[in-house]
Amino acid sequence: MTVMPADLSGIDVRAEIERLRKERNAVILAHYYQRPELQDIADFVGDSLELSRKAAETDAEVIAFCGVKFMAETAKILSPNKIVVLPDVEAGCSLEDSCPPEKFKAFREAHPDHIALTYINCSTEVKALSDIIVTSSSAETILQQIPADQKIIFGPDRHLGGYLSRKFGREMLLWPGVCIVHEAFSETELLKLKAQHPAAPIAAHPECPPHIVDHADYVGSTSGILQYAKTTDADTLIVATEPHIIHQMQLAIPNKTFIGAPGADGNCNCNICPYMALNTMEKLYVALRDLEPRIEIEEQLRLDAKKSLDRMLDMASGTLGKGDLGTR
Ligand code: 13P
Ligand code: SF4
């Protein structure tokens, strides 16, 4: 159940967050899909891979994670001695919901000669059942390190898996999950927008379905899209991912124009992630004040999930040899 902050009138929430951040020795991490005010107050804003790395490295005693539950759980898996709080514990993810651990386990057991390459957008239980975790910015590097004859299950995002499969000509068994946000972009509306701005390239996240990705000039993670926005010569960019990332683009490149790709209604509001939007400044303040809602993970489960995450962190930096993979 979502905990609504009690009446906070009269409280300078921003000043209180600043005070508590110091008092608690806390670091505030935020994903690019968070509200602008949360991005602005965070110590670090990043994509899923960058945030995992920050969570593993930080010296802070408390991690206040402005993102969704699987991200905060990843922080706890990697930094078990730190207190990890998530401003709204209901901040889930449609991809995680699409992949119940018992069904994933049965799927794995039905394909014993496959390794499970699993998108980080999943539960801790599914991470524990997986061989290697990937994010959208590490997936290509990691896939290329897996021997060509190794059979692969990819879950839970069938669009990211399908994109990788097409790009590398690699067959994979795909779990049928989707991100409800990226699924909502409309090809018809995107093409209408493109006709109005023919010189504007399209940057798309690989969680988008093929009918969107196929029109993109650039496909990549949130940090990849941000980098593309900075480096493209175009002065207008069409952005096919959750529109809150546009805040970072406007801060970094104020002289360019960024247009969110539309949903079926012709505007991009339906592409705001409803889970990410649950976090607010007020809830962040309460989380730092009460050190709740706190992420807790049973130790054996944490250790099992950490193996697949550690493999990602090693392989993403190229330190694990090609022969080190094995089926479970
Ligand atoms: P990245 O920031 O890793 O590209 O992930 C996008 C996303 O959907 C996170 O939920
Ligand atoms: Fe999950 Fe999609 Fe929201 Fe990311 S944007 S948290 S993948 S529902």
Average pLDDT of each block of 10 consecutive residues along the chain (328 residues)?
A: 68 97 97 98 95 92 97 96 97 98 98 98 98 97 97 98 97 98 96 97 98 98 97 97 97 97 78 97 98 98 97 79 35
Ligand 2 binding pocket mutation candidate from 121, 178, 221, 270 (most atoms within 8 A of CB):
121
Query: Ligand 2: which residue has its CA nearest to atom 8?
Result: 93
Ligand of minimum distance to the alpha carbon of 96: 2
Which CATH number among 3.10.20.30, 3.30.70.890, 3.30.300.30, 3.40.50.10800 corresponds to the domain 185-263?
3.40.50.10800
What pLDDT shows up at residue 9?
Answer: 85
What pLDDT shows up at residue 86?
Answer: 98
Is 112 exposed, middle or buried (CB count within 10 Å of its CB: 0-12, 13-18, 19+)?
exposed
Query: Ligand 2: which residue has its CA nearest to atom 3?
Result: 273
What pLDDT shows up at residue 2?
Answer: 53
The atom number, within ligand 2, closest to the CA of 70 reads: 6
Long-range contacts at 261-264 (CB < 8 A, ≥ 24 apart): 261/185, 261/189, 261/190, 261/193, 261/202, 261/204, 261/212, 262/185, 262/186, 262/189, 262/190, 262/192, 262/193, 263/184, 263/185, 263/186, 263/189, 264/184, 264/186, 264/188, 264/189
* Ligand 1 center from residue 11 Cα (angstroms): 33
CATH of domain 95-178+302-321: 3.40.50.10800
Q: Does the C-beta of 134 come closer than 6 Å to ligand 2?
A: no
What pLDDT shows up at residue 109?
Answer: 98
What pLDDT shows up at residue 322?
Answer: 35
Question: Superfamily for 13-92+276-295?
Answer: NadA-like (3.40.50.10800)
What pLDDT shows up at residue 22?
Answer: 97
* Ligand 2 center from residue 56 Cα (angstroms): 22
Q: What is the pTM (predicted TM-score) of this model? A: 0.94
What pLDDT shows up at residue 106?
Answer: 98
Q: Does the C-beta of 70 come closer than 6 Å to ligand 2?
A: no
**CATH 3.40.50.10800 in the chain, residues?**
13-92+276-295, 95-178+302-321, 185-263
From residue 107, alpha-carbon distances to 75, 94, 104, 301, 306 in Å are: 27, 19, 5, 19, 21
Question: What is the C-alpha separation between 238 and 187, in angstroms, rounded?
Answer: 13
Q: Does the C-beta of 60 come closer than 6 Å to ligand 2?
A: no
Pocket (CB within 6 angstroms of ligand 1): 32, 47-48, 121, 135-137, 179, 207, 221-222
Ligand of minimum distance to the alpha carbon of 273: 2
Ligand 2 binding pocket mutation candidate from 241, 275, 278 (most atoms within 8 A of CB):
275
Q: Does the C-beta of 135 come closer than 6 Å to ligand 2?
A: no
